[in-house]
Chains A and B, each alone.
Chain A
């Protein structure tokens, strides 16, 4: 610990204080070389097997702020936001309208690369609260997920309505989960983030992103991949249906033929 703090002290005496605010301009990406604080994170697993009776769980991510300024730390100037972003895919939002008395889909907007799920956990609300300024967190948080339509013209003036509808529907289905207060400090610099995995968490490679903020300004972030694989018979069926669709279809028909034929044998009345 002392070895880690020592360079910080040196930096603080030198150019460290000046470099801090400047590096806040860096949006995401690699840590700025001049920034003294660093973030280190780890997980107990990088692969999660979801069983059929899975009803949601917590994923624990541990991390530490290296080279933390003890003065700032003691007055709670460091904030951590940890997000778990699901695999991205095109997502279409459709809106119904009444046409001749019948409700039908009239308008749609397709967004590129909307994450299938998005769980987040933070030391506080990133939008800020009365008396607490919001975190300057580009691209972090449910309201900041990058939702770019495939075709800007089609959404028109309603684009924002479709964006918020997507976020709302995802929240309602439990796939976008905010948890302000899910990150807690175990010691002054060691923290634990609990990320809620929804019961309907999608398959695929998810991305854990941990972002460090100093006095509300973004400092740096670290990412780790998390593979989510569903197991069990149900998943094997889903896999078969998508990877061997013709065989799967033939099997379904075969099962129906056997069932129908079997019934006519069992219930034959002569």
Chain B
């Protein structure tokens, strides 16, 4: 059964989109990630224009992060104050990101930059995760207890404008918090991701936020940055495909529920190694698309007088 996507201007098989949404939802539930970094490249592989894939990806992440954030809020593992400070940076970053996005689109380099960013980020994060998880698997086989990071105070703790975050039990300068939020905000609007896969490690290793509140807090800020990005993308680039987004999110939230159940049965380091391989595979696929000679070196873009 085919369905016409009005904004992507593409007829697609609805079951492929449902399957894509469910699979990414399953993985996001299993690994506790938003899934935007998988949805956007998958849509691009399926010939959805990157402009639409990014904006629609952001819209889809709103749905997947809401249900996660509600769960964390109920459990009390969500630091609203820390999330709000992150959000200030996030909204500013998303605004700058949209501006960059529109500029690149006018220059005709948007598709390239999106692909390059994905290759770099997926390669980097996937590689690091793979190394870390393989090491962890080796250690657990040898029976060595993982060594906790020593309680040193890194440079971020010497910055001014400190603030007390009760729920996270930390006393921290707002500068790095806003900085991380800003960086993630830029990525949200340029790549269509929530940014959890970068924010979570940054909060743990850089800000020393306790692990239990990290995921909930990052989800909280992701809801608002992706929601904001969706509205601004719709207003400036007309690139949010609500039909595509709805199919993805409907399948995604269902898939996520089953993913969570499977994820609880698997061991942490094995799970991370699997995710790392998946992330690397998507990155390599995108990289190949950049280096393989295209079937047609010409392309058309309609509208806009100053291209």
Contact = CB atoms under 8 A, between A and B. Distances in A.
A248 B4 CA distance: 18
Contacts of B4: 52, 234
A252 B108 contact: no
Contacts of A264: 66-67, 70-71
Interface string B279-307: 00000000000111110111111111111
B6 A96 contact: no
Interface of A: 52, 89-98, 101-105, 108, 110, 116, 150, 162, 165-166, 168-170, 200, 234-235, 237-238, 241-242, 245-246, 248-253, 255-257, 259-264, 267
B230 A249 contact: yes
15 contacts: A52-B4, A90-B307, A97-B297, A116-B302, A169-B296, A234-B243, A249-B240, A252-B245, A253-B227, A257-B63, A259-B250, A260-B70, A263-B257, A264-B67, A267-B67
B7 interface: yes
Contact of A103 (B63, B294, B304, B307): B294
A169 B66 contact: no
B202 to A, nearest CB: 24
A259 B249 contact: yes
Contact of A261 (B66, B257, B294, B296): B66
Contact of B245 (A110, A250, A256, A257): A256
A127 B32 CA distance: 63
A245 B66 CA distance: 23
A209 to B, nearest CB: 22
A49 to B, nearest CB: 16
A191 B291 CA distance: 53
Nearest to A234: B6
B9, B63, B112, most chain A CB atoms within 10 A = B63
A91, A170, A264, most chain B CB atoms within 10 A = A264
Is the interface on chain B under 10, 10 to 19, 20 to 34, or 35 or more residues?
Answer: 35 or more
B307 A110 contact: yes
B13 interface: no
A248 B108 contact: no
Given A241-B234, A260-B65, A260-B67, 6 more contacts: A92-B302, A96-B298, A102-B112, A162-B298, A252-B230, A263-B256
A263 B307 contact: no
Contacts of A90: 302-305, 307
Contacts of A246: 231, 234-235
B212 interface: no
A97 to B, nearest CB: 7
Contact of A91 (B60, B71, B240, B300): B300
A188 to B, nearest CB: 43
Main DSSP-derived SS at the B contact region: helix
A104 B112 CA distance: 6
A259 B246 contact: yes
A249 B232 contact: yes
Contacts of A104: 109, 112
A105 B296 CA distance: 12
Given A104-B112, A260-B63, A264-B66, A237 B304 contact: no
A264 B69 CA distance: 10
B188 interface: no
Contacts of B42: none
B6, B256, B301, B305, most chain A CB atoms within 10 A = B6
A169 B243 contact: no
A263 B109 CA distance: 38
Contacts of B7: 237-238, 241
B233 A108 contact: no
Interface string B241-270: 011011001100110110000000000000
Top 10 nearest A-B pairs by Cβ distance? A260-B66, A249-B234, A263-B253, A249-B231, A256-B62, A92-B307, A165-B298, A256-B63, A264-B67, A260-B63
B64 interface: yes
Contacts of A108: 108, 307
A256 B60 CA distance: 7
